[in-house]
Amino acid sequence: MIHQIVAPTVGESISEVRILAWSKQNGEYVKNGETVAEIESDKATVEVIAESNGTLKILEQAGEMVGVGKPIAQIDDTGVAGTSASAPKAAVANGTATASAHGATATAPVKSGTHDLEGQSPAVRKILAESGANPADISGTGKGGRITKGDALDQAANPRPKTIGRAADSEIKTKDQPGDRRVPMSLLRLKIAERLKQAQNNAAMLTTFNEVDLSKVVELRKQYKDKFKTKYGVGLGYMSFFTRASTLALKEFEAVNASIDGTDVIYHDYVHIGIAVGTDRGLVVPVVRNADKMSFAQIEQAIVDAAGKAKTGKLGIADMSGGTFTVTNGGTYGSMLSTPILNPPQSAILGMHNIVDRAVVIDGKIEIRPMMYLAVSYDHRIIDGKEAVSFLVAIKKRLENPEELGLEFKKEI
């Protein structure tokens, strides 16, 4: 019996995904529950799992864009383990393919820009022939720069010369030089670029700065981190202090937690804080929901869980949706100061930076204190400068007087 493997649904608004890689080769025997492929949307990476035992027949190659629900492979459960029911094993990873059991002709890997229609896949060849599009004008996003069906459809609908990064707003012609290496942007990276540009284009974005003396927070962590770990099974990090300080300040300055929708302002009676996490694939922002109602231990656990899912590519659409405010910590990479960009439709973002011992004046005397620069970027259309500055000062005061943060763990440990 033949079992179809289809491109899974990864979100209501997503109709197409890209096959990142096949974990199994064409003709290989797979078992129920094994991962056979990884697919990506513009928001997340999802594993495709075999739902039966049998021999794998790959229908769509790595790098191809496919519609959600479309078959990408088949599993033949009548085959003998370890033998191919459809074709000899193919080196899928390097873009080659073999003839199928039905006598289909193998398609060799092609280079983007070739004028030879015979060198393209049947679907691409048909689209290019019907539209009259020139393959030389297409920057292939498939494996090795291969032209995919999505590339061909895009060029047919919007004819244009080959451009850097395939950007719709860029018509700069480019020619690869010796030593250049062209790599297609991932859907996640494309989405990041789109959203960052959207934020710059649509918002009246400004940034205000301050600095905070973290002496008392540093001392609290030294005093309680071991007991905290023993009690709750998770570390006591700086993020929980900044998250708690932010939630309290957001309750005080509700416009900072609001968003713009057309000519309306939407105020939120809840605080869903996005925590920016750097991964190998790019920056993602999982959301800690109802952070204003969480204890320090719950915040820390939620951050650990979200970061773990982000770094292993397990984040789903729901994990990254609905945030009302974002905190990003460039200090983990050594950043001293930055101007973070808004995460639409949010109206503000807090930027943390590295902690540095600096000489400061305290009561007329010079002392060495652990200091951090803080930045809040905000949408001036909804947040006034006075409000933004006051919001940042409210965070600063609570961090310099952490007893105002509640610190419920001190009573529980």
Cβ contact 26:72 at 8 Å: no
Cβ contact 284:317 at 8 Å: no
Cβ contact 340:328 at 8 Å: yes
Distance CA 110, CA 140 (A): 10
Phi-psi region of 262 (alpha: psi -120 to 50; beta: other; left: phi over 0): left
Which 3-state string (H, E, C) describes 76-122?
ECCCCCCCCCCCCCCCHHHCCCCCCCCCCCCCCCCCCCCCCHHHCCH
Distance CA 278, CA 330 (A): 10
Going by DSSP bridges, is the β-strand pair 65-67/16-22 parallel, antiparallel, or unpaired? antiparallel
Distance CA 178, CA 137 (A): 20
Whether 154 is catalytic is: no
Whether 380 is catalytic is: yes
Per DSSP, the three-state class of 266 is strand
In this structure, what token pair is assigned to residue 90? 């193919």
Which residues belong to the active site? 380, 384
